[in-house]
Amino acid sequence: MLEEILFVVLAAGTVITALLVILQRNPVASAIFLIMTLFSLAGIYLLLEAPFIAAIQVLVYAGAIMVLFLFVIMLLNLEKEQKIITRNRLQKIFGVFLGIVLLMQIGMVFHSILLTGEKGFFPPDKVAALGNTEVVARLLFTDFLLPFEITSVLLLVAIIGAIILAKREI
Partner 1 sequence: MVPLSAYLVLSGILFTIGVIGFLIRRNTIVLFMSIELMLNAANLAFVAFSRHLNSMDGQIFVFFVMTVAAAEAAVGLAIIMAIFRTKETVNADEINLMKW
| Amino acid identity, position 48 | L
Q: In angstroms, what is the minimal distance from the CB of 13 to partner 1?
A: 11
**Considering the rule CB under 8 A, would residue 31 count as an interface residue with partner 1?**
yes
Tell me whether residue 129 or residue 157 sits nearer to partner 1 (CB atom): 157
**In angstroms, rounded to a whole number, what is the distance separating the alpha carbons of residues 39 and 9?**
13
**Considering the rule CB under 8 A, would residue 62 count as an interface residue with partner 1?**
no
**In angstroms, rounded to a whole number, what is the distance separating the alpha carbons of residues 99 and 105?**
10
94: which residues sit within 8 A by CB, 6+ positions away? none
Residue of the chain from 72, 128, 129, 145 that contacts partner 1 (CB under 8 A):
72
Number of residues interacting with partner 1: please give it, by CB under 8 A.
Answer: 83
Residue of the chain from 22, 74, 129, 145 that contacts partner 1 (CB under 8 A):
22
Contact 84, 56 (CB under 8 A): no
Overall residue count recorded for the chain in this entry: 170
Residue of the chain from 74, 128, 129, 144 that contacts partner 1 (CB under 8 A):
144
